Amino acid sequence: MKILVPVKRVVDYNVKVRVKADGTGVDIANVKMSMNPFDEIAVEEAVRLKEAGVASEVVAVSCGVAACQETIRAAMAIGADRGILVESDAELQPLAVAKLLKALCDKEQPTVVICGKQAIDDDSNQTGQMLAALMGWPQATFASKVQLGDGVATVTREIDGGLETVETKLPAVVTTDLRLNEPRYATLPNIMKAKKKPLDTVKPADLGVDVAPRLATLKVAEPPKRSAGVRVADVAQLVDKLKNEAKVI
Amino acid sequence: MAVLVIAEHDNQSIKTATLNAVTAAQAVGADIHVLVAGSGCSAAAQAATAIGGVAKVLVCDAAHYATQTAENVAELVRALAADYSHVFAAATSAGKNMLPRVAAQLDVAQISDIVAVESADTFVRPIYAGNALATVKSADRVKVVTVRTAAFDAAPLGGSAPNEAVPAAKDLGLTRVVGRELTKSERPELGAAKIIVSGGRGLGNGENYRTLLEPLADKLGAALGASRAAVDAGFVPNDYQVGQTGKIVAPQVYIAIGISGAIQHLAGMKDSKLIVAINKDPEAPIFQVADYGLVADLFAVVPELTATL
């Protein structure tokens, strides 16, 4: 079976972002970019399924600016077989990405799409669910364990009270939670090999998708700052502060 | 036009997250209808009628909503959405799972995890792990919105909204829940607790977590939380996790013990009213947000703190 893995290029998770002074957005010029951590987990899972003989081909897809090629190469260094870049300079919101992925799914006919559960920049947590809806496929979100059988996926999901196991028909969309696996480091030989793997580029217009944003961002602001606290010397002083100053216990 | 709020329930009672979503919906300034979709859910429907500020409770009782799979519930919500200007749900794992599906079927954007309603079409939501707040305006016909529960008070009880049965949508038969493994706890629910005692890697192992933090939490009537490091190391189950990828909490008091305070953890707790940090590393980033910080060995001071309270 074929697995499609969408990957997103985002500001590296260790970077503390700064809001632009004019309130139009977050300053990402000259900031380190990486693959979204949840997507790395998705690629790793797909590659493990291939290594286990369950999957036959892993296709990595990214939508965005030309530099997203690097993200696709990173996915290929982990073990994806080929890549597709949907190149666009426009701001791509989850619904637009889901429509682009739908167009690719119609063409590529994957059995499973494995997405990250959310991108750590927009924190939307929408794209996988939207893709499943557009395809009319079942969805297994926030997966911490995935087993693919004949026409059926058994997925353990992380829910608020604990865990839930679902059986979904295939084809299906799975979104990954952090505990699904630990992504491997790409080795230098694999990074070199990834440079030779095929990478196709298409435009949203080639796929017949209108990517115009539906939500207008009016402004982006810094969250309110917390005022500096105090250091207490010992437990007695801490308890005193909690009881008499903050009056919380 | 009215606002449709999707109730989260277990067929018997309504989850408190729904009450927070109702409060957010009130800010839109239209009638509020609550949808209870379940199987044998008359007790939950009854509980929903008591939510203050609700004009009507729609009840859809059918066998294929027993486990409320996203596919089937989204199909139902989509059918109802034509009569509404807004569809709201709490940004819990259930709400996050189901609502984007509704939005895509309606061909509208979804607005995730809002912390404020500026007007009927303008909302504020955190991005970049809470390091920036974006104000977004929707031009879509139906606004499909999930609500950060920690950002809104719970709607009061004491209402008496009428119930109305609505027909079920068809059973899509795409997904079947085969098992649920819920963490049992006598303590308050993490999302709704007034006080949270949270532990990190500094505790060393699961046994230390239990022997040190449980007595403290019991004394304070607090819920227990954890950093991702503590969850990954197997100290506690993953539904204890507070952070960008776990639960977002805003209790009256958050006591962080042996937690360094990485960006992803702060995203889940920095809106707490009061933050207390106990850590032996004076440079730990948690001290930059803590109202009261104690630089000390947690193994010495946590039992002392428990004994003093």
SS3 B243: coil
* pLDDT tier for residue B69 given thresholds of 50, 70 and 90: very high
Residues 34-63 of B with CB under 8 A from A: none
Residue with tokens 């429907």, as numbered in its chain = B45
For residue A119, the chain B residue with the least C-alpha distance is B128
Q: Is the pLDDT of residue B267 over 80?
A: yes
Please judge whether B135 and A217 are an interchain contact, meaning their C-beta atoms are less than 8 angstroms apart.
Answer: yes
From B239, B290, B301, residue closest to A161, measured CB to CB: B239
* Mean predicted confidence (pLDDT) in A197-213: 97
Among partner residues A121, A160, A218, which is closest to B239 by beta-carbon distance? A160
* DSSP track, A181-201: --PPPPPHHHHHHHTTS-EEE
Entry pTM: 0.95
Inter-chain touch B104–A140, beta carbons under 8 Å: no
The minimal CB distance from B96 to the residues A125, A133, A241 is found for A125
Structural tokens at position A212? 């115009």
Chain A residues whose CB is inside 8 A of the B125 CB are: 123
Average pLDDT, chain B: 96
Name the CATH superfamily housing domain B190-308.
Answer: TPP-binding domain (3.40.50.1220)
Closest CA to B104 of A202, A169, A139: A139
* Rounded CA separation A178/A42 (Å): 10
Whole-angstrom distance, CA of residue A86 vs CA of residue B34: 40
**C-alpha pair distances (Å), A35 with each of A43, A50, A61, A62, B143:** 10, 21, 12, 10, 30
Residue type, A16: K
Tokens of residue B264, six digits = 């992803």
- Strands A2-6, A57-64: pairing kind: parallel
- What pLDDT digit, counting tens, does each position of A170-180 carry? 999 999 999 99
**CA-based nearest residue in chain B for residue A117:** B245
**pLDDT in the model for residue A72:** 98
- Could A235 and B74 be called an inter-chain contact, meaning their C-beta atoms sit closer than 8 Å? no
Query: pLDDT tens digit string along B2-18?
Result: 999 999 999 999 999 99
Q: What's the whole-number average pLDDT of chain A?
A: 96
Identify any residues that bridge with A57 across adjacent strands, giving them in sequence order.
Answer: A2
State the Cα–Cα distance between residues B154 and B144, nearest whole angstrom.
Answer: 20
Mutate to test the interface with B, among A11, A14, A230, A235 (most CBs of B within 10 A): A235
Per-residue pLDDT of B194-246, as tens digits, reads 999 999 999 999 999 999 999 999 999 999 999 999 999 999 999 999 999 89
Mean pLDDT (whole number) for A111-124: 97
Q: How much is the pLDDT for B191? A: 85
Q: What ipTM describes this predicted complex? A: 0.94
Write out pLDDT tens, residues B130-183: 999 999 999 999 999 999 999 999 999 999 999 999 999 999 999 999 999 998
Contacts of residue A18, Cβ cutoff 8 Å, sequence gap at least 6: A26, A27
* pLDDT attached to residue B13: 95
Q: Which of A134, A154, A218 sits opposite B104 (nearest CB)?
A: A134
Q: How confident is the model at residue A204 (pLDDT cuts 50, 70, 90)?
A: very high
Task: List pLDDT tens digits, range A6-48.
Answer: 999 999 999 989 999 999 999 999 999 999 999 999 999 999 9
- Cβ atoms of B163 and B126 within 8 Å: the answer is no
What's the pLDDT band for B29 if we cut at 50, 70, 90?
Answer: very high
The residues in B 132-151 lying below 8 A from A, measured between CB atoms, are: 132-140
Segments making up each domain of chain B, as ranges: 2-165, 190-308
**Local confidence band at A247 (pLDDT 50, 70, 90 cut-offs):** confident
CA distance B130 to B269: 10
**Which sign does the torsion angle of CA B147, B153, B154, B156 carry?**
negative
B196 touches chain A (CB under 8 A): no
pLDDT of residue B12: 95
**Residue A161 confidence (pLDDT):** 87
Q: Residue B153: which of B111, B192, B181, B187 has the closest Cα?
A: B192
Cβ neighbour number for residue A103 with a 10 Å cutoff: 18
Q: What is the pLDDT of residue A46?
A: 98
**Looking at the domain B2-165, which fold is it?**
Rossmann fold (3.40.50)
Whether B287 and chain A come into contact, CB under 8 Å, resolves to: yes
Q: Average pLDDT in the B104-112 region?
A: 98
User: Among A123, A138, A218, whose Cβ lies nearest the Cβ of B174?
Assistant: A138
pLDDT at B53: 95
Chain-centroid distance of CA B189 in Å reads 10
Cα–Cα distance between B235 and B252 in angstroms, integer? 25
- Fold equal for B2-165 and B190-308: yes
